[in-house]
Amino acid sequence: CGSSFKNKGVQTMLDYVMELLPSPMDSEGVVGTNPDTNEEILLKPSIDEPFAALAFKIATDPFVGRLCFIRVYSGNLEAGSYIYNARSENKERISRIFQMHANKQNPVPNVAAGDIAAVVGFKDIKTGDTLCDEKKPIVLESMDFPEPVIGLAIEPKTQADVDKLGMGLSKLAEEDPTFRVQTDQETGQTVISGMGELHLDILIDRLKREFKVEVNQGAPQVAYKEAIFGTTQHRETYKKQSGGRGKFADIQVVISPIDADFEKGGLQFVNEITGGSIPREFIPSVEKGFASAMTNGVLAGYPLPDMKVRLIDGSFHAVDSDALSFELAARMAYREALPKCKPTLMEPIMKIEILT
């Protein structure tokens, strides 16, 4: 056992890391995917290979601004050079490179395969992004983060701190992918969510220490979700006439749980329209309407993580139908049909594997 807070056992642990863990150069390399062809690529831990690195942490420093911590898997990166972000498909200029020692930053001219460093000067890099050579693009395995399990409402103690609170929450959310900030649509409250009460307590303390914001906080609430276990068929007609051009959309859908092989979650939307009963340009609006409605369930307003919608029939009006009408029809169908699909509240459960 050890404690970094009391400086007990840390040196011993680091000595064992140096002595027992393999060097990055001992590995065969890292496997990624070509974003254009989806072919697998093996990059060896060599300075002669194209540059590839994974951004694993974003932090904010009061002196240099935003820091991005990277692990370099191959190639070489020099200060002042440009890199390619495979997620955003944009180039980023790296103005300076630092090797970190606790909270000290040691400037270095370059980093190579096997190094861990922090870079500054970028505009849009997020945790889990692959940074690479634009001429040799690659996407490395990203980082998966668990969904928050608890949330609470907060508000600044004074009106003067509203802007500072927003800025502070934005920076904390950028640094911590397991921390979420959202505004409750019904109450207008700011709700923060995380992995537990201690997690949120630490972040609220950081708001106070780093951003000088005092907040009032409500009672913690478990981050429930809703799920459906039944299937129903529903027809929804949205019709509105207000003197001029009206609104019209008609859809018939089958709502059910997702298929067993649908692994990515979210909305599984299947368009089964034939014969042009709904024009093709309106189909994405139906999908958009259902996807946006899933943020609020019908039991207690908790989000629905996944469901399947089959669009099987419908009709339109040559003059009155538009994209917004079909989106609104989908939202209405969601609210009317979901209570018939055996909705149920779901509690967060974590699976832990302990190796001894």
Q: Is the residue at 33 inside a domain?
A: yes
Q: In this structure, are residues 321 and 282 in contact, taking their beta carbons and an 8 Å threshold?
A: yes
Three-state secondary-structure class, residue 229 = coil
- CATH number of the domain encompassing residue 55: 2.40.30.10
Please give the helix or strand (H or E) that residue 182 lies within, else none: strand 180-183
Please give the pLDDT value at position 293: 94
Of the three residues 172, 189, 223, the one that is the final residue of a domain is 223
Three-state secondary-structure class, residue 207 = helix
Q: Is the residue at 26 inside a domain?
A: yes
Please give the pLDDT value at position 138: 93
- Going residue by residue through the chain (356 aa), what tens digit of pLDDT does each one get? 678 778 888 889 888 888 888 877 777 888 999 988 889 999 889 899 999 999 999 988 878 888 999 999 999 999 999 999 999 889 999 999 999 887 788 999 999 998 999 999 998 899 999 999 999 999 998 888 888 989 899 999 988 888 899 999 998 998 999 999 988 776 778 899 999 999 999 999 999 998 899 999 888 788 889 999 999 999 999 998 876 788 999 999 999 999 988 888 899 999 999 888 999 999 999 999 999 999 889 998 889 999 999 999 999 998 899 999 999 999 999 999 999 999 999 988 877 888 87
Please give the pLDDT value at position 184: 76
Q: Is the residue at 127 inside a domain?
A: yes
CA–CA–CA angle 343, 344, 347 (5° rounding): 150
CA distance 145 to 127: 10
Same domain, 187 and 268: no
Same domain, 215 and 231: no
- CATH number of the domain encompassing residue 209: 3.30.70.870
Of the three residues 140, 163, 187, the one that is the final residue of a domain is 140
Give, as one character, the DSSP assignment of residue 26: G
Give, as one character, the DSSP assignment of residue 320: T
Same domain, 338 and 252: yes
Please give the pLDDT value at position 353: 84
Same domain, 40 and 132: yes
Q: Is the residue at 355 inside a domain?
A: no
CA atoms 246, 250, 255, 258: torsion sign: negative
Please give the pLDDT value at position 186: 65
Which one, of 86, 89, 54, lies nearest residue 68 by Cα?
Answer: 54
Amino acid type, 239: K
Q: What are 204's strand-pairing partners?
A: none
Three-state secondary-structure class, residue 110 = strand
Same domain, 22 and 105: yes
Spell out the residues 6+ positions from residue 64 whose beta carbon is closer than 8 angstroms to its own: 96, 98, 105, 120
Q: Is the residue at 3 inside a domain?
A: no
Of the three residues 223, 253, 284, the one that is the final residue of a domain is 223
Sequence length of the chain is 356
Please give the pLDDT value at position 144: 83
Please give the pLDDT value at position 2: 76
Same domain, 177 and 282: no
Domain that holds residue 158: 150-223
Same domain, 113 and 233: no
Spell out the residues 6+ positions from residue 353 whose beta carbon is closer than 8 angstroms to its own: none
Q: Is the residue at 350 inside a domain?
A: no
CA–CA–CA angle 74, 79, 82 (5° rounding): 70
Cα 247 to Cα 39, 237, 273, distances in angstroms: 47, 10, 21
